Structure formats: structure tokens, C-alpha cells
Structure 1
Amino acid sequence: MTIELDQMLNDSGKVSDTGSGERIRRISVSQQIQESLRARIISLELKPGLSLSRTDLASHYGVSQTPVRDAMMKLEEEGLLTIYPQSKTEVSKIDVAHARETQFLRLSLELEVTRTLAKQEDKSSIAPARQLLRLQETALAEGDLSLFATFDKQFHLSLFKAVGLSSLSQLVASRSGHIDRLRNLNLPDPGKPASILRYHALILDGIEAGYETATEAAVREHLSGTLKQVDQIVARNPEFF
């Protein structure tokens, strides 16, 4: 990714301008640990049902147990950890009902975002999304599904940014732990990455042409794909649910 694109996609709530043009992150140690653990849970490196030791995590991150405890409590609020007082902490199982709720919220917001973009005469604001689509294509061609998934998230964030609503994208992201894990179980399935690319292209083409109905149809089909496959995903991975 180019530096320019990376800067455009940085979340304004997590960076600060020093006045010299340099942008730096200003977050606490506990938040850094929370982000790291969250990423490891969503990527399924830390699998549902896995028991986590606060002592081991403190050693892993080279910190005291206090920021680890704080990070764990935040992740419990997100529903990604289950803390049993005086007993143990486990990575939560994937909650399909929660995933459906988050998907409803995300669909509602993205329909409005893309409808707004389709109505705008100036389409230059979706240039970052076009570039991210090309980066996704390259990542898939190179067989890097992890990078492909990263660009996927940035693609959708770029659409929210294009209408000045990146904070709403972060709201969805904060609730997306369960649906994101479902997506990561679905992503390696044959044809899934190609389907994502196809719908991303259809969404951008619809926006550029100003076709609101076609854009809405592409968004609905795209965002419903994983939940349409949920029964098969659960059947293949019953231990995660």
C-alpha cells in the first residue's frame, strides 16, 4: 500500500497530527493489548473455547497484569471473551444471533453510504476504494488471504470516509467480532474471494454510474453472503459455536 493511501485510511480517532505533518498513534498500553488480542481472536489464531492466562499474556507482551486485565475486560464487553471470576477466561464461542444483529446494522449504514455516493456528481471520493480493489486483486493473485481480508475491511472503511462517516464504520467494527470470525471461516471457501471482488466492483460501478438501485442490490447481495452459508459453516466447525 502506498503511504498516501495508508494515510487516507488511518482512523482519525486513533492518530494525532504533530504539526509537522507526521501522524502518530496515541493509545494506552491496555488499548494496544486489546487491539492485538482482538486481532488474534478475529483471525482465529486464538480459537473459540481457548483458555487464556493473564500471567502468560503479561509475559508475552512484557507488561504487568493490570493492562492485560483491563484489555480482557474490554474484550468481554465486546463479547469476545468470557471471564469466569476467580476461575478462568476463555475466548467466547461465535454467537450467530449477535452476528446477525451486527450485519443488520452494517447493512443499514452501508446502504445509506453507497446511496449517498451514487447521488454525488463528483465521484473522486471513491478513488481510494478503487485502489483498494486493485490491491485486493493482487493479494488474491499472490494467495495472501490475510492481506486480502485487510484490504477488504479498508475498502468498506474508505466508503464511509468518502461521506465523512468513518466514526460510524468504527461503531460497526466494535460490534463485529462474531461476524468477522464467521467471515474468516467462510473466506477460504472456493469462489468466496472472487465473489467479494465481483461485488466490490459492482458496488463501485453502480456508484460511478449513479445507479442507486443497482448499487443497493450489489450491497445487499455482498453483505448477506456469509450468513447465507452459516449452516454449512457451523456444520464444518461445530466446536467454534
Structure 2
Amino acid sequence: MAIDSLQAAPLTIQRTAIADRIFDELQHQILSLDLKPGTKVSEADVAKVFGVSRQPVRNAFFRLSKMGFLDVRPQVASRISFISEEAVLKARFIRCALESKAVKMACDELSEEDIHALTGQIEQQGKAVETKASDLFHRLDEDFHREIYERAGVGFVWDLIKENKAHMDRVRYQSLPLNLDNAFQCHKKILAAIKARDKEWAAREMDLHLSEIFSLLKTVREEYPEYFEEETA
């Protein structure tokens, strides 16, 4: 089982922090396809790898299942979920609806200090693109969207999005090596629109950015057809 590759040292920190560490590691392996769709994982095996009891593993499994990464099946091993094209497109719809509205609010609410901080974040993204650091760019990408909404006073928007974007995330992560610069340019345009306090421009750039998933989905599905749910007629 791919989870064996973790080779994690036993954890002795607080139970909540242990569950967070296990969740973060499993989520990363799922996004990177180190844990491939359809792979069976059990609480007992993961607990053994981390040297912990099954309770924090159960907590991590619950969070992963709630986000759509894991199919939890009572009495049998849980399974990494297959990517659902329908779920990807639903996530795109939800993100467009919420983020286009939220970025308009950002045009009104963000201070010059906020914009300066986001400009620094964009500079970090540029360095990640130059070095082709996909993992780092993925984290900065997430932070960029989250920070816009938190600084605009609507941080709950990102909380809602996180609950619905698991399948979309796997497609985005796999396409990043081919799409780093394009995603970076989109972020620069979004920030430029916020700086200009142009709500319609900001919303339009956000919608264009999120709509890239249509072409990315096609590319990833062609390369990894075995990782997707079978389409029903």
C-alpha cells in the first residue's frame, strides 16, 4: 500500500495536532497521486505507520471523507475516491458563484496594506514559477485566494469552498507542471483589478481563471483515465 512510503516517525504531540499531521500527509499523497484513486487504506495500517492509536487516524479519515477524498466503508478498508468529473464541474460552479462576488467585495474592502501583502505573495509565486516548484506554487495559490477573502472580511467563503473542491484540486494539482505560468498570470491580473478597484474586471478575471478547469480536466482525464469514475449514461 502506498501509505507505507510515509515512513513517519511516531508522533507524541497533542491528539488534535496528530490528527492534523495525518490529515495533511494523506491529503498531500492523494493530491499528488502517490495514493492513487481506488487504493485501499485502513485505520490500523495508517496508525501503525505513524505510531499512534486509531482515534486520530479516524478523525483524519472523517475529514478526508467529508471533503470527498476518501470513501469510508464500515467493516472494510476505506478507499481513496475516484475523481468525479461531475464533482469537478460542480466545484467550479460553486467557486465562480462565491469568488466572483467575494473579489468584488475585496475591491472595496482591501486596504493599501492588504494589497501590499498580496503583492508580496505574488512575488513569491513568481519565484516558484521560475524554479518550477509545483508543490510550493500550489500552497501559495491556495493562500492567495484565502487571503483575499479573509482580508475582505469574508473568510468563511474559503471555508465553504474547501468543503467542495477536493475533486477539482486533484485535477488542478496534476495539471500544475503544465499550467504554472498561466495560473500565475491569472493571479497577477486579479490583483491588478483589485488594485484598480475595478469590480467588474476583477470578477471577470476570477471567472476566467476558474474556468480554466474545463481544459485542464480534459487533459488530465486523457492522461489518467483510470483515476476517474466511470460515466453513467
Equivalent position of 2:168 in the other structure: 179
Equivalent position of 2:11 in the other structure: none
* CA–CA distance in structure 2, aligned partners of residues 39 and 92 of structure 1: 14
Q: TM-score, normalised by structure 2?
A: 0.84
| SS of alignment partner, residue 229 of structure 1 | helix
Amino acid at match of 1:33: I
Q: What pairs with 1:77-226 in structure 2 (closer than 5 Å)?
A: 77-120=66-109, 122-189=111-178, 192-226=179-213
CA change 1:121–1:106 in 2 (3 A) is: closer
Given that residues 128 and 158 in structure 1 are in contact (C-alpha distance below 8 angstroms), is that contact kept between their aligned partners in structure 2?
A: no
Kindly, what percent of the aligned residue pairs are identical? 27
Q: Residues 89-114 of structure 1, C-alpha deviation per residue, up to 9 Å, x if partnerless?
A: 21000112112222222212211221
Given that residues 54 and 65 in structure 1 are in contact (C-alpha distance below 8 angstroms), is that contact kept between their aligned partners in structure 2?
A: yes
| SS of alignment partner, residue 27 of structure 1 | helix
Give unpaired runs (5+ residues) of structure 2: 1-13, 229-233
CA change 1:30–1:158 in 2 (3 A) is: same
Equivalent position of 1:3 in the other structure: none
Given that residues 129 and 137 in structure 2 are in contact (C-alpha distance below 8 angstroms), is that contact kept between their aligned partners in structure 1?
A: yes
In the alignment, is residue 66 of structure 1 matched against residue 52 of structure 2?
A: no
Amino acid at match of 1:170: D
1:120 deviates by: 4.6
Q: Residues 190-214 of structure 1, C-alpha deviation per residue, up to 9 Å, x if partnerless?
A: xx11111111111111111122222
Amino acid at match of 1:58: A
Q: What pairs with 1:20-31 in structure 2 (closer than 5 Å)?
A: 27-31=16-20
Q: TM-score, normalised by structure 1?
A: 0.81
| SS of alignment partner, residue 48 of structure 2 | helix
Pick which of 213-222 and 114-123 moved more. 114-123
* CA–CA distance in structure 1, aligned partners of residues 91 and 107 of structure 2: 24
Given that residues 18 and 56 in structure 2 are in contact (C-alpha distance below 8 angstroms), is that contact kept between their aligned partners in structure 1?
A: yes
Q: Residues 104-153 of structure 1, C-alpha deviation per residue, up to 9 Å, x if partnerless?
A: 22212211221112235843322222111100110111221111111111
1:79 deviates by: 2.0
* CA–CA distance in structure 2, aligned partners of residues 70 and 142 of structure 1: 36
In the alignment, is residue 48 of structure 1 matched against residue 37 of structure 2?
A: yes
1:215 deviates by: 1.5
* CA–CA distance in structure 2, aligned partners of residues 119 and 83 of structure 1: 43
Equivalent position of 1:230 in the other structure: 217
* CA–CA distance in structure 1, aligned partners of residues 45 and 166 of structure 2: 23
- Point out 4+ residue stretches in structure 1 off by more than 6 angstroms: none
Amino acid at match of 1:215: A
* CA–CA distance in structure 2, aligned partners of residues 198 and 26 of structure 1: 41
* CA–CA distance in structure 1, aligned partners of residues 156 and 32 of structure 2: 23
* CA–CA distance in structure 2, aligned partners of residues 30 and 75 of structure 1: 11
Pick which of 147-156 and 221-230 moved more. 221-230
Q: Kindly report the root-mean-square deviation, in angstroms, between the aligned alpha carbons of the 2 structures.
A: 2.1
Give unpaired runs (5+ residues) of structure 1: 1-24
Amino acid at match of 1:102: A
Given that residues 132 and 180 in structure 2 are in contact (C-alpha distance below 8 angstroms), is that contact kept between their aligned partners in structure 1?
A: no
CA change 1:39–1:121 in 2 (3 A) is: closer
Equivalent position of 1:76 in the other structure: 65
Amino acid at match of 1:225: E
| SS of alignment partner, residue 90 of structure 1 | strand
